[in-house]
Amino acid sequence: MTTNKLCNFLQRFHLPLRGVVAPKYSTAVHQQNSLSNKIEFDPSLFKINKKICEPNLSLASLSINSHDFDLPTHRGWINNVIDSPIKKIYDITDPAKNDYSKEDKTTDKTIDLPTNNSSINIEKQAARMIVIRRRKMRRHKLKKLRKKMKFKWAKVKQRRELKKEKAFHAELLAQIHEAEKFDAKKYVQSKFDILDNVRIPSRWKGEILPESMIREFMQKEEEIKQRKLNIPRLKLD
């Protein structure tokens, strides 16, 4: 580090560093030899040179002594060496054996047979069994009846359908005859008669009167209207 700084400093004066002697450094005798070692320069070299200086340093090897690397003691005494403590060895013995009594603690589940007493009468009920048997018999009988009456019931069904069809055809023929008798002129005249028919009210000016009197009053009122509409006018011949 120091040599690099020295080279950079001498480069400013354009001086070659020939004959520059580097000081020797040691760890143990550094303080004693620091005053004796000096850097010597050649005065003939102090000339202006435009070339770049090339450092030419000569370094000498130092002899290494054993006392340079001795470690200092702490206040002249050395700590005692501490060995690892002795571990306590425990004796391993077999675990205690517990004797368990092997006994069956379950309750006795045996069932004894009933005693043969002739005085006790056990009633046997099979109501559900009878119901199932009757249902099966009904199913069997129905199947047997269907097999027996298959063709008879087919004939009855066919006759019923033919009867319905004949009634439907008769109704259609009746509608055709009625349509053939239809007269358009009479139908139109009947509609006109309904329109021309005058409805006679049951009251006249809030009074209940007979139908004949109401007709007379209505006729008189119609004559008055016609007179007002058909006023005679003078005509120039």
| Domain edges within the chain | 1-59, 128-180, 184-228
Question: What's the pLDDT tens digit per position in 62-109?
Answer: 555 555 555 555 555 555 656 666 666 777 777 777 666 666 667 667
Phi-psi region of 91 (alpha: psi -120 to 50; beta: other; left: phi over 0): beta
Q: What is the pTM for the complete model shown?
A: 0.30
- Sign for the CA dihedral angle at 4, 5, 9, 10 comes to negative
- Sign for the CA dihedral angle at 204, 210, 214, 217 comes to negative
In this prediction, residues 127-155 reach a mean pLDDT of 93
Measure the CA–CA gap between 5 and 48, rounded to whole angstroms.
20
Say yes or no to pLDDT of 227 above 50. yes
Give the C-alpha distances (Å, rounded to integers) separating 153 from 89, 120, 142, 156, 206.
109, 57, 14, 5, 73
Q: Lowest-confidence range among 21-30, 103-112, 113-122? A: 21-30
Q: What is the band of 33 on the pLDDT scale with cuts at 50, 70, 90?
A: low
Tally Cβ neighbours within 10 Å of residue 20: 20
Question: What's the pLDDT tens digit per position in 182-207?
Answer: 999 999 999 999 888 878 888 888 88
Say yes or no to pLDDT of 167 above 90. yes
- Please give the pLDDT value at position 84: 63
Cβ distance 54 to 19 under 8 Å? no
First to last CA, the chain: 158
Residue found by looking up tokens 């007269």 in the block: 183
Q: Lowest-confidence range among 28-37, 88-97, 127-136, 187-196? A: 28-37
